[in-house]
Amino acid sequence: SEDGSHFTWWPLIWNCIFSICAFFVTSKVIPGFVAIFIQAGFFGIDMSKKDQTVKVAEAMGVISGAVFLITMFFFIPIPFAWNLARMSFVQHGNQSTAVVAFPHHEFVEFITAILCVCTMLFLGFADDALNLRWRDKLFLPTIATLPLLMVYYVNSNSTTIIVPYPLRAIFGFSLNLGALYYVFMGMLAVFCTNAINILAGINGLEAGQSLIIAISVAIFNLVEVSGAYREACVFSLYFLLPYIATTAALLRYNWYPSRVFVGDTFCYFSGMTFAVVAILGHFSKTMLLFFIPQILNFIYSIPQLFKLFPCPRHRLPRYLPEQDQVTMSTTKFRPQQLHPLGRLIYHIFKRLRLIHVTKPADNVASAQQEPFLECNNFTLINLVLKIYGPMHEQRLTILLLLFQVVCSTLAFLIRYPGAKLFYDV
């Protein structure tokens, strides 16, 4: 056809080949940069190890991210090769005009998606270098999505959603969310980036969960590729395969015992990649299904994130050197001094046995002050430790990653058989 809607599997096959190369390049390059990063001050101390003097290179996500971008840069012409080869120009005096239609809208989406990931990688690295404040972490991903939202507006501007059966009596068959839809997409980027960052603190967890999400979404795209949204799925796979390859290489070094830390750079870069493919692939709701553990962790964390409950700088599990195991980390508080809402949440959580509260033996109530209590930090990692007791760090990572896999399976069950209850699919 002349309109550029020609389809072949070749670009995807080339993408696979590029991704395999990207895996080996990342694997090769990371060790070489460890010393350079430590030299430059990009290092952290692994808090769950006996030796607290070993420097572990931090922000290594910038390497996997850079290899990802380079792979994408080389890949840019390939999906458009068919169009490029058939493009001929007619000369009118000084002007030359393309005769065969080139899919400019697809091309712009592609370039903008790369721009957004690139921006986020840069902002993430800035965060690792400068240790930005909490509110900047919300602000940065919003800024980085603006170009994408602009392209979305120009290209499709579809802000209409199909209403699920139970709600159709109220809203009708479909609902145009208008500007709200853009707010939702902006928030998706903020959520994806930060949700991965706060489910962190043990070796291999950040990269591991991101890898499982990416593989799950890639499987979802492969299933859907024969359907009506083929272009969107293929587009998403172009990004996900190199992402999976570079992240897998990073995970090799981040796995227990970590030789490198991924840094906030990686969390931002990952979250943005997911947000970009979800927005341009029009599957934001399905994307969120693959974030179930992150959503649970976020909801559980809300009291601490919004300062309704004391939140220490680090909420990662506490290391027990004698047993070489990790256990729940805790925070101290006095119930009467909590924010009223925080106190309410505290009582609800205690009732639901979501938290473990103890009274430290060494503190006696004085005349003026009630004694302080101690309870675990509100993270999914600590919740797992509350349920199963102290365990070895690697075991804990594996357990949490298995939970991520189970949730992905659940996501497929909800997406396929489950969706029939709410939509006609």
Distance (Å, rounded) from C-alpha 18 to C-alpha 240?
Answer: 12
Omega before residue 257 within 30° of 0, cis: yes
Nearer of residues 56 and 72 to ligand UD1, judged by Cβ: 56
Nearest-angstrom CA–CA distance, 86 and 99: 9
Find the binding residues for Mg ion in span 264-293 (CB under 5 A). Answer: 264
The two tokens of residue 247 are 């992240």
* Shortest Å, Cβ 320 to ligand UD1: 14
Nearest to ligand UD1 of 257, 417 (CB atom): 257
> Under the criterion CB under 5 A, does residue 58 sit at the interface with Mg ion?
no
Chain-centroid distance of CA 418 in Å reads: 24
> Using CB under 6 A, which residues numbered 23 to 52 contact ligand UD1?
44-48
By CB under 5 A, name the one of 15, 145, 194, 197 that touches Mg ion.
Answer: 197
Around Cβ 122, how many Cβ atoms within 10 Å?
A: 17
- Ranges within 200-229 binding ligand UD1 (CB under 6 A): 200-203
**Binding test (CB under 6 A) with ligand UD1, winner from 258, 273, 325, 376:** 258
Give Cα separations from 161 to 11, 132, 173, 184 (angstroms). Answer: 31, 36, 9, 12
Nearest approach in angstroms of CB 124 to ligand UD1 is 10
Q: Residue 48: name its binding partner from Mg ion, ligand UD1, none (Cβ under 5 to 8 Å by kind).
A: ligand UD1
Q: Where is 43: in which H helix or E strand?
A: strand 43-45
CB closer to ligand UD1 out of 55 and 350: 55
Length of the chain: 425
CA–CA separation, 110 vs 232, rounded Å?
A: 11
Q: What are phi and psi of 105, to 5 degrees?
A: -65, -40
CB under 6 A: which stretch of 92-100, 101-109, 183-191, 258-266 binds ligand UD1? 258-266
Tokens of 385: 């430790």
Which amino acid would we find at residue 335? Answer: P
d(CA 301, CA 311): 10
Residue 342 touches which of Mg ion, ligand UD1, none (CB < 5 to 8 A by kind)? none
Binding residue for ligand UD1 (CB under 6 A) from 71, 193, 197, 382? 197
Establish if 128 lies at the interface with Mg ion (CB under 5 A): no
Closer CB to Mg ion, 145 or 197, in the complex: 197
- Which CB sits closer to ligand UD1, 54 or 223? 54
Instruction: Establish if 264 lies at the interface with ligand UD1 (CB under 6 A).
Output: yes
Smaller CB distance to ligand UD1: residue 79 or 124? 124
174-212 b/e (C-beta count within 10 Å ≥ 16 → b): ebeeeeebbebbbebbbbbbbbbbbbbbbbbbbbbbbbb
Binding site for ligand UD1 (CB under 6 A): 44-48, 58, 197-198, 200-203, 258, 261, 264, 314-316
Binding site for Mg ion (CB under 5 A): 197, 264
